[in-house]
Amino acid sequence: MAKNILTIRDHRTGKEYELPVDSGSIRALELRQIKESEDDFGLITYDPGFSNTASCRSRITYIDGRKGILRYRGYPIEQLAGRVSFLEVAYLIFNGELPDQAQKQAWVEEITGHAEPAAGVQRVVSAFSRDSVAMAMLMSSFAALGGFHPASEDMATAASRRPHLLRLIGNVPALSAWIYRHKMGLPFVPSQAGLSYSENFLHMTFERPDGSFDLHPVFAQALDVLFVLHADHEQNCSANAMRSVGSSKADPYLSASAAVGALAGPLHGGANEAVLRMLNLIGSREQVASHIEKVKQGRFRLMGFGHRVYKNYDPRAKIIKKMADEVLEVAGSSPLLDVARELERIALQDDYFVSRKLYPNVDFYSGLIYQAIGFPSWMFPVLFALARTSGWVSQWEEMVSDPEQRIARPRQLYEGPAKRDVGS
């Protein structure tokens, strides 16, 4: 018997079916042949949240959650973060290979050539009240870009799509900085040549009204590493939104706007805010043990521990913990860092958490770093989106280039009323 065949016996009818297995999967449409009768629609799968459904083939990011592995295009995240700049990683994710020196220079020039968004988008940002939700502002800004750079008639080839995709990567630092400055009541700051991607973003965000700006290299380096760690993460909620909306041939600006909306949810992009709230609630190292007991009693959730994908230590958490130490050495010790370290120490020694594989994830320390650099917590999801834009556009381009890709249109299990008639 062939090894790559799955045999299914339907005990309703007594029939057997042979389904080919490819890359550890079967094609869902193969199940449609399994019917009780000829007028039966055929079997479908029921998979809320797509927990065990592959919606695409991808060559971008590989994750093995059981072993704690994350790789971009085959490169382990541990070999990229801190050794390769964010823009080089963005090149890798988008193009498939790390750039040589000439390719890197051309890529950086291409991205920085898009550092200033259309002036009209400033008016969109400025139209919001200062107490508006930051992610709603970013979502609207992405959609507005599509209005200033119509792309629907220009998507036929990779070459015609490229400027639009790279514009998103190049524009998002300025859009993010504008959101911060508008909400803080500060004037917008133009991009500055000669700075790295992360440095320029920090400059546009934190330049003082008198034009002065102090940039500590550790802050810029930490932000660059965080951008690398968040650049892509396989078929997460926002990447799925990017692909799903893009599958209707919506342009990348509208697709990215939808991805921002997905990321805005607290189950996706708001986790590091929840960690800070928890650390503030605990208050001091002395209260950690008591909080741990309340977690074990089911009275609180332990935020920043565990991951839907990683059933081992999140490989990004090891890198980010080191960055937190370096940033806080410059910014000054934080009482919350002391709480975080004690919380991690106790949890990693407690059988309750170890047996459940509840290890720190990337969100556990990232909020502490952002806060130490000077970002308020409402900017955390925006920073996440800034980094993830490179992954979104790469996922979108891969999707539109895939000849097998179809418009996203899931099935449902209808459980409403059967046919009924309106009374006379």
Active-site residue flag, 307? yes
Whether residue 87 contacts residue 105, with contact meaning beta carbons closer than 8 Å, is answered with no
**How far is Cα 392 from Cα 260, in angstroms, rounded to an integer?**
10
Distances (CA, A) of 41 to 38, 48, 54, 158, 251: 8, 20, 22, 38, 34
Active-site residue flag, 230? no
Find the helix or strand (DSSP H, E) in which 118 lies: none
* Residue showing tokens 């859009």: 175
SS3 384: helix
Active-site residue flag, 182? no
The dihedral through the CA atoms of 274, 198, 73, 23 has a sign that is: positive
Q: Which of 64, 268, 338, 402 is catalytic?
A: 268
Read off the tokens for 179: 């959101």
SS3 14: coil
Q: Which of 203, 230, 291, 307 is catalytic?
A: 307
Could you tell me the maximum CA-CA distance found in the chain, to the nearest angstrom?
Answer: 81
* Residue showing tokens 């997460």: 236
| Of 164, 206, 207, 233, the residue nearest 397 (C-alpha) | 164
**How far is Cα 363 from Cα 274, in angstroms, rounded to an integer?**
9
Angle at 63 between CA 61 and CA 65, to 5 degrees: 165
| Pairing label, strands 15-20, 5-10 | antiparallel
**How far is Cα 392 from Cα 245, in angstroms, rounded to an integer?**
12
Q: Which of 232, 251, 314, 363 is catalytic?
A: 363
Residue 140 makes CB contacts below 8 A (sequence gap 6+) with: 124, 128, 257
Find the helix or strand (DSSP H, E) in which 250 lies: none
**How far is Cα 262 from Cα 259, in angstroms, rounded to an integer?**
5
Find the helix or strand (DSSP H, E) in which 140 lies: helix 134-148
Listing DSSP states for 182-247 in one string gives: HHTT-------TTS-HHHHHHHHHH--TTS-----HHHHHHHHHHHHHTS--SS-HHHHHHHHHHT
Angle at 334 between CA 329 and CA 338, to 5 degrees: 100
The residues annotated with a catalytic role in the active site are: 268, 307, 363
